[in-house]
Structure 1
Amino acid sequence: MSAGGFCKLPGGSVVVALTLPAPDAAEGAVRVLVHAANRARALTRLRNLGLRAVYLRGNSHPPTPDEITAVLHHPDGLLWRAAPDPAVGELWHPIRALFRPTAPAGGIAS
């Protein structure tokens, strides 16, 4: 089960934060932020990206003020970074970067 939570904003929208296992097992876990009209739509946005088993049960790890600011200032409203160590100083990435295939180490094969 993923750890996560939400925060309702004054305008009525919500920011949902979830800590999920990374698609690449070597990375550990990722913290995903979603800005949407409500919690159901936030989870639907993640499920539409292929994260089918994403559920928000409880509010044990709500987004921090810094996380809320980051997702509100991003045009897509959907970000991620490695978790749980934000002290490393890693910046937030667009969600497309999480699912982007990595280039092979040997370069271009002929």
Structure 2
Amino acid sequence: MSAGGFCKLPGGSVVVALTLPAPGPGEGAVRVLVHAVNRARALTRLRNLGLRAVYLRGNQHPPTPDEITAVLHHPDGLVWREAPDPTEAALWRSIRALKISPSGV
């Protein structure tokens, strides 16, 4: 189950933030931010990347102002990082980094 939320910007677009369980073994989570025209379009962008079971129910964990700034300044408008841990600062990464296979092919 994903936790997330959205924020409507003054221009009419939205920023959607989702916290998803990390793929693979072990504990952890990934925070994904998407900038799009509306919430449905944001979720469609994620589904087109292979995240088929992503839904936004409610607005319990909306994006913070820092997260909104990060996604607005990224050219793709789609970034991720490991879920925030108060003891360390993780950098935002492009979604393209997830699509590269370990073998480099």
TM-score with structure 2 length normalisation?
A: 0.91
Higher normalized helix content (fraction of residues):
1
Structure 2: segments with no counterpart, 5+ residues: none
Whether the 8 Å contact between 2:84 and 2:90 is mirrored in structure 1 is no
Structure 1: segments with no counterpart, 5+ residues: 104-110
Residue of structure 1 in register with 2:7 after alignment: 7
Flag the structure with larger Rg: 1
The alignment-based identity, stated in percent, is 83
Whether the 8 Å contact between 1:27 and 1:82 is mirrored in structure 2 is no
Give, in angstroms, the shift of residue 101 of structure 1.
2.3
Question: Is structure 2 residue 59 aligned with structure 1 residue 56?
Answer: no
Change beyond 3 A, Cα 1:39–1:86: farther
Number of equivalent positions: 104
Q: What is the distance in 2 between the residues matched to 1:67 and 1:100?
A: 24
Task: Render the CA deviation track for 1:35-92: whole Å, top value 9, x for unaligned.
Answer: 0000000000000000000000000000000000000000000000001315511110
Map 1:87-98; keep pairs closer than 5 Å: 87-98=87-98
Show structure 1 runs of 4+ deviating over 3 A.
none
Change beyond 3 A, Cα 1:77–1:87: farther
Q: Which sits farther off after the overlay, 25-34 or 59-68? A: 25-34
